[in-house]
Chain A
Amino acid sequence: MDLMTDTKIKISANHLNVFYGQKQALFDISLDINQNEVTALIGPSGCGKSTFIRCINRMNDVIDICRVEGEIKIDEKNIYEPGIDIVSLREKVGMVFQKPNPFPKSIYDNVCYGPKIHGIAESKDDLDAIVENSLKKAALWNEVKDRLQEPGTSLSGGQQQRLCIARAISVNPEVILMDEPCSALDPVATAKIEELIDELKQSFTIVIVTHSMSQAVRVSQKTGFFHLGKLIEVGTTEKIFKNPTNNMTQDYITGRFG
């Protein structure tokens, strides 16, 4: 625990309940996420990990029947308070999805879209700089610098996912949510993304949902284990994987169920 003494809590969920219509998907989740750390959420399919991270940028608002109770605070401010502007929230909390979803536009346009709509760039040169910077941070610049005008969909799966990461960081967010970012990728591309995640935590707070235990071990500092909509156990990654207190966690990480 001595590692965490100088860390600051970035996101904190308090007694969060989420319902899809009549069905309750999350039960009383309370979880703190530290700044400039990677927090991994693990658990079997349908356990609510994705629902949870989609609450952090209010992506669940898109779903008509979804209802959220409780609060999530980012920098001590509840994002479910009335009067919160979702657009500026999502500018602050970026997201990378399970399947790479670049816009069917050029690589350049993919990255510059966010800065454009938020008016971040003053001029074309600013925009060029942001695009270059974001692509560099996403470790994609060297591969695409000569073909920025080619469609983003022409890249390989791993490159597409890194393009999506570049798009997410182009608006300079504070938090990046990643919903199983490597589940559609081969091991080589996965390794690249994991390396990238490790770099990115210098500048961003990262929450990652993953099905791969080894990935959680490799990239994260803190791990939460979800089961059937409940947060069973949370702690440093080291503790969860070496010395879990809960039997269910023990069973899951050793592959006895899930």
Chain B
Amino acid sequence: MTKEQRLQKRYASEKRFKSYGIISICLALTFVALLVFKVLSEGSSAFVKTSIQLELNFDHKLLNTSKQPTKEEIEDIDFYDFTLQHILKVFPTSNRDEEKQLIKLFTSDFEFEVKKYFKANSDILNKVITLNITASSDLDQLHKGNYQRDIPENRRKISNFQLKIYDQLLEKKKINKVFNNYFFTNGDSRNPEIAGIGGSMLGSFFSILVCLIISFPIALLAAVYLEEFAPKNKFTDFIEININNLAAVPSIVFGLLGLGILLNVFELPRSTSLVGGITLALMTLPRIIIPCRASLKAVPPSIREAALAVGASKVQSVIHHVVPLAMPGTLSGTIIGLAQALGETAPLLLIGMVAFVVQVPGSPLDPSASLPVQVFLWSESAERGFVEKTSATIMVLLGFLIIMNSIAVYARQKFEKKWI
């Protein structure tokens, strides 16, 4: 082989190696793009809901109440009947069955929507107001184009009569899409149109808060002790190995621990974000200790020597210099650990945070779901309305994860000291 041939061969192999790298990056990006596309295309429609404009005459006679109703009297008003009469006036029906079908086009909660509006605006008595009433999930899906119209009626969720009404609504422009506030404020529900992630978002928030409060101080202190004070012997080696092992233990094992110890021995309330948070804290602890130790180790020994040489005690040198200098690393490690905990599902299933909870939790002691568990719950529902909500929840969860990880990266780059 001549020198030129060898040279060409070397160039060729370098080119080949480079192209392998580019191909693998492209493949990875394709998978990410597929995931994002699937979630976005399926989930984005969940952020809007269909609503039907309905003209309501809040005449006190129609409301069947006095001219100036007191609070108790307002509570007594039958808004279901009141609204139903208006609906029937706009869309005449010929029999009881059609009436049922008509009602089914509206959300099962329509009387509460009207009641809520009436209570919030007391001056509308005896006035005629046009209200946007949330449509039922089936009408919502039809309006969003997810249901086919040209299949036989018995295979459709929407009957011919309902289609007729829908066409009337379209013609009169009484149907429109509005921002789906329920998705962010409501708890879970059997009816997709009023089901939301408000409850599970708060549940996740409380769990992560409990997790942070428990795991961060313990992890930081453990890391500081192990890195700065502990003698280097077999026992500390043993501890170190075990911390690394714990970080790799499957999360469901921590769920079993939470179930066995927290629920069965200490009898803490089941399905609450308190128990979820403690379980997640157990899981997150080793995952925070490891980056904390790494960032403490990254502080150059010359800083410790400098502090000791002017007569700082060991504790002073650590608290005044080493720990503050390691803070960016420990904080970003903590945030990344918490982000992992936020996406964790398995341990929460075992401690009962998989329950169907309608109420939005007010404290960590209330039963609640969490975002990833909500995804799990809804992904099992067959109804079309839950499919888009599943994807939308994934979007919200991914959004939170991206925000947390960006904060971690930003904190590290912004505040980390560059050593000369």
Which A residues lie at the B interface, using CB under 8 A?
A: 57, 59, 62, 64, 87-88, 90-91, 94-95, 97, 99, 101-104, 113-114, 117-118, 153, 164, 167-168, 170-171
Which A residues are in CB contact (< 8 Å) with B417?
Answer: 104, 153
Q: Which one, B92-100, B154-162, B267-275, B300-308, is touching chain A? A: B300-308
CA distance A103 to B231 in the complex (A): 26
* In-complex Cβ contact of B303 among A103, A114, A117 (8 A): A103
Number of chain B interface residues as a range: 20 to 34
6 CB-based A-B contacts, threshold 8 Å: A59-B305, A97-B305, A104-B325, A114-B312, A164-B306, A170-B310
* Residue pair A171, B310 in contact (C-beta under 8 Å): yes
A64-B231, A97-B302, A153-B420 as given contacts; A103 in contact with B309, CB under 8 Å: no
The residue of chain A having its C-beta at the shortest distance from the C-beta of B302 within the complex is A101
CB distance from A74 to the nearest CB of B (A): 14
Whether the pair B305, A87 counts as a contact (CB closer than 8 A) is no
> Given known contacts A59-B309, A114-B311, A117-B316, what 9 new A-B pairs fall within 8 Å (CB)?
A62-B304, A64-B232, A87-B312, A101-B300, A101-B302, A101-B306, A103-B306, A104-B303, A153-B417
Residue of B nearest to A99 (CB): B302
Q: How many Å lie between the Cα of A168 and that of B325 in the bound state?
A: 21
Q: How many A-B residue contacts, CB cutoff 8 Å? A: 64
- Least Cβ–Cβ distance between B76 and chain A, in angstroms: 69
Q: State the CA gap A113–B306 with chains docked (Å).
A: 11
Interface centre among B231, B300, B303, B307 (most CB of A within 10 A): B307
B308: chain A residues within 8 A (beta carbon):
59, 62, 90
A153 to B303, CA, bound (A): 12
Q: Does B264 contact A (CB under 8 A)?
A: no
A79 to chain B, nearest CB (A): 14
Residue among A91, A117, A164, A171 with the most chain B CB within 10 A? A117
Q: When chains A and B are docked, how far (Å) is the Cα of A138 from the Cα of B309?
A: 17
| CB-based closest 3 A-B pairs | A114-B310, A101-B302, A91-B311
* A103 proximity list for chain B (CB < 8 A): 303, 306-307, 321
Contact B306 A62 (CB under 8 A): no
**For residue A113, which residue of chain B has the nearest CB?**
B310
- Structural contact, B305 and A171, CB atoms closer than 8 A: no
Distance (Å) between the CB of A245 and the closest chain B CB? Answer: 35
Q: How far apart sit A153 and B306, CA to CA, in the bound complex (Å)?
A: 14
Closest A residue, CB atoms, query B312: A117
Cβ contact of A118, chosen from B302, B306, B311, cutoff 8 A? B311
Interface contact A94-B321, CB-CB below 8 Å: no
B126 neighbours in A (Cβ, 8 Å): none
Q: Does B19 contact A (CB under 8 A)?
A: no
Contact B305 A90 (CB under 8 A): no
In the complex, which of the residues B300, B304, B307, B309 contacts A94, with contact meaning CB atoms closer than 8 Å? B309
Query: How distant is the Cα of A110 from the Cα of B99 in the complex, in angstroms?
Result: 82
B3 CB to nearest A CB, Å: 44
* B35-80, CB < 8 A from A: none
Chain A's closest residue to B233 (CB) is A64
Cβ-based interface call for B313 (8 A):
yes
A99 contacts which chain B residues (CB < 8 A)?
302
Chain A residues in 8 Å Cβ range of B309: 57, 59, 90, 94-95, 97, 168
A168 to B307, CA, bound (A): 10
Q: Please give, as numbers and ranges, the residues of chain B lying within 8 Å of A117 by CB-CB distance.
A: 310-312, 316, 320
Q: How far is the CA of A164 from the CA of B420 in the complex (A)?
A: 15
Give the residue name and chain of the B residue nearest to A157 (CB).
B420
Q: Which residues of B contact A88 (CB under 8 A)?
A: 311
- For B310, list chain A residues within 8 Å (CB): 90-91, 94, 113-114, 117, 167-168, 170-171
- Residue on A nearest B325 in the bound complex, by CB: A104
- Chain A residues near B300: list those with CB within 8 A: 101
- Within 8 Å by CB of B320, from A94, A101, A113, lies A113
Q: Which residue of the partner chain, among B232, B305, B312, B316, contacts A101 with CB atoms under 8 Å?
A: B305
> Measured between C-beta atoms, what is the minimum distance from B329 to chain A in Å?
14
Output the least CB separation between B297 and chain A (Å). 15
Q: Tell me, in angstroms, the Cα distance from A88 to B316 when the chains sit together.
A: 14
Q: From A118, which residue of chain B is reached at the shortest CB distance? A: B311
Q: A110: nearest residue on chain B (CB-CB)?
A: B306
**Closest-CB distance, B267 to chain A (whole angstroms):** 46
A117 to B307, CA, bound (A): 10
Closest A residue to B316 using CB positions: A117
With both beta carbons as reference points, the residue of chain A lying nearest to B417 in the complex is identified as A104
Bound: A113/B316 CA distance, A: 11
B306 lies within 8 A of A97 (CB): yes
CB distance from A96 to the nearest CB of B (A): 8
Q: Is A167 a contact partner of B311 (Cβ separation < 8 A)?
A: no
Nearest neighbor of A98 in chain B, beta-carbon distance: B302
Q: How far is the CA of A91 from the CA of B312 in the complex (A)?
A: 9
Provide the bound-state CA to CA distance between A55 and B125, in Å: 91
Shortest beta-carbon distance from A157 to chain B in Å: 9
Pick the most buried of B306, B307, B313, B325: most chain A CB atoms within 10 A of its CB: B306
Q: When chains A and B are docked, how far (Å) is the Cα of A168 from the Cα of B309?
A: 8
Whole-angstrom distance between the alpha carbons of A164 and B310 in the complex? 10
Give the most central of B231, B306, B310, B320: most A CB within 10 Å.
Answer: B310
CA distance A97 to B309 in the complex (A): 9
B286 to chain A, nearest CB (A): 25
In angstroms, Cα B304 to Cα A114, docked, is: 13
CB of A54, distance to nearest CB on chain B (Å) = 9
Known A-B contacts A59-B308, A62-B308, A64-B231; the reply to A87 vs B303 at CB < 8 A is no
| A62 contact set on B, CB distance < 8 A | 304-305, 308
- Chain A residues whose C-beta falls within 8 Å of the C-beta of B325 in the assembled complex: 104
